[in-house]
Amino acid sequence: MDILCGEFPYGSLLLHGQFFHMCCCAHILNLIVLDGLSHVVVDGVQRIRDSVVFWTAFDKRIKNNLYNNPQNNEDWETLEKVCERLEVFSTTTHDFSASGFPTVNIYFPKIYTLRLVISNWHSSPYDYIRKMAQLMLEKYSKYWIGVNGLMGVATILDPRYKMALIRFYFLKNI
């Protein structure tokens, strides 16, 4: 990237090359999920992992006396609620990764929809979901707030969307 940027005269690149190199969208989605999960469900996931390892590693006749770190119903309920919300990341990642053609025109609606979904998690009755949403939105902002306007241009150029989609999302005021 440094070599290519050096080949272009200063000022000839849009925003002086600030967005000449962008991270892979699927990779950023992964970072957002990891950051959200790392502070929210760590203990419950570890107890469930320990349980699976224990029950698959030992002979059945000695299992009941040695098992001392059981998961509880709350762990399972928490993970179930978190997994329900992570489905949107799976779908968005698949849309970006499974495509055999450039996805810049679908970037803006997918990423803005993701932001709307995460923002709605702030009204969840569960503290851990609200905390997860906060962490995910912080990571989202770190990578995508500055790029949204630029990628919005690709959406405007897509004849299916033009200005209608941009107006719709910007009216959401997020």
Q: Which of 124, 148, 142, 151 is nearest to 35 (CA)?
A: 142
41 DSSP assignment = S
The C-alpha atoms of residue 156 and residue 108 are separated, in whole angstroms, by 10
| Domain region containing 155 | 23-40+83-171
Q: Tell me if 66 is assigned to some domain.
A: no
Q: Tell me if 32 is assigned to some domain.
A: yes
pLDDT at position 52 over 90: no
Q: Render pLDDT for 123-140 as a digit per residue (tens, 0 to 9).
A: 999 998 999 999 999 998
What pTM did the predictor assign?
0.70
Lowest mean pLDDT among 75-79, 93-97, 105-109, 121-125: 105-109
Count of the separate structural domains present in the chain: 1
Q: Tell me if 9 is assigned to some domain.
A: no
Q: Tell me if 8 is assigned to some domain.
A: no
pLDDT for position 51? 77
Q: Tell me if 14 is assigned to some domain.
A: no
34 vs 18, 27, 142, CA distance in Å? 26, 11, 14
Q: Tell me if 63 is assigned to some domain.
A: no
State the pLDDT confidence band at 1, using cuts at 50, 70 and 90: low
pLDDT for position 57? 73
Tokens representing 2? 């440094």
The C-alpha atoms of residue 50 and residue 106 are separated, in whole angstroms, by 40
State the pLDDT confidence band at 162, using cuts at 50, 70 and 90: confident
Q: Tell me if 54 is assigned to some domain.
A: no
Q: How many CB atoms lie within 10 A of CB 2?
A: 7
Q: Tell me if 33 is assigned to some domain.
A: yes
